Amino acid sequence: MSMQLTSNPANVVTEQEAIAPDWSPVCHITYNRDSWVKLNQAPSAYSQEEALLLCEEKSGTWVSWVPGYGEVTLNKSEFYC
């Protein structure tokens, strides 16, 4: 992806701003037992791309069930918020 820098004085973007904007995405979703989540990547070619959260093993780690695969422990980073 390339980003064009503008020389328009009313809308000047520095190279640093173009590379690292001033915001960072934050996920404020609270997951609960019995919630379905979308996986970043299915655990196998034959499994679904969704998981049912069964119980939180520790903060950010969930024991889950994936149809077509079975029980799996997922880190919060492995599913969409």
What does the pLDDT read at residue 13? 55
pLDDT at 5 over 70: no
- Percent of the chain whose predicted confidence (pLDDT) is above 70: 63
Q: Where are the domains of the chain?
A: 24-78
Closest by CA to 49, choosing from 31, 27, 74, 28, is: 74
What does the pLDDT read at residue 72? 95
Alpha-carbon Rg for the chain, nearest whole angstrom, is 19
**Total residue length of the chain:** 81
What does the pLDDT read at residue 81? 61
For 20-55, the pLDDT digits (tens) are 555 555 556 678 888 999 999 999 999 999 999 999
What does the pLDDT read at residue 67? 96
